[in-house]
């Protein structure tokens, strides 16, 4: 099976979010697509493809490498959902009661 057809099938699967078994037959057997995806992910094929595409686009002047990164991280404890234990009972006030 042609690798371009397999790659198109893999891309179709992830763009649509469908299950492997629901990939159209025009891309070949779903099991082949899944096996090839796993193999390529493990052996670094996708990383090499990305680097090659970036190198071609960079050589053509199609990439603007200006990047802005915001590394702000706010962490909260897993139990810090905002609710008080025991409900939302408001404590009694020492002030005068409303009439």
pLDDT, tens digit, 9 for 90 and up, residues 60-89: 999 887 877 777 777 777 766 666 666 556
pTM value is: 0.60
pLDDT tens column, 15-59:
999 999 999 999 999 999 999 999 999 999 999 999 999 999 999
Q: Residue 71: its pLDDT value, please?
A: 73
Residues 29, 18 contacting (CB under 8 angstroms): no
In the chain, what are the domain boundaries? Answer: 3-59
User: What percent of the chain stands above pLDDT 70?
Assistant: 78
Helices (H), 1-99: 3-16, 30-43, 45-59
């Amino acid at each position: 099976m042609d690798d371009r057809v397999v790659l198109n099938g893999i891309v179709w699967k992830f763009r649509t979010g469908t299950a492997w078994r629901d990939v159209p037959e025009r891309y070949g057997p779903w099991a082949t697509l899944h096996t090839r995806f796993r193999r390529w992910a493990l052996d670094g094929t996708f990383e090499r493809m990305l680097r090659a595409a970036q190198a071609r686009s960079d050589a053509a002047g199609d990439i603007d490498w200006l990047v802005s990164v915001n590394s702000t991280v706010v962490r909260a404890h897993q139990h810090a959902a905002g609710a008080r234990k025991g409900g939302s009972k408001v404590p009694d006030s020492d002030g005068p009661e409303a009439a």
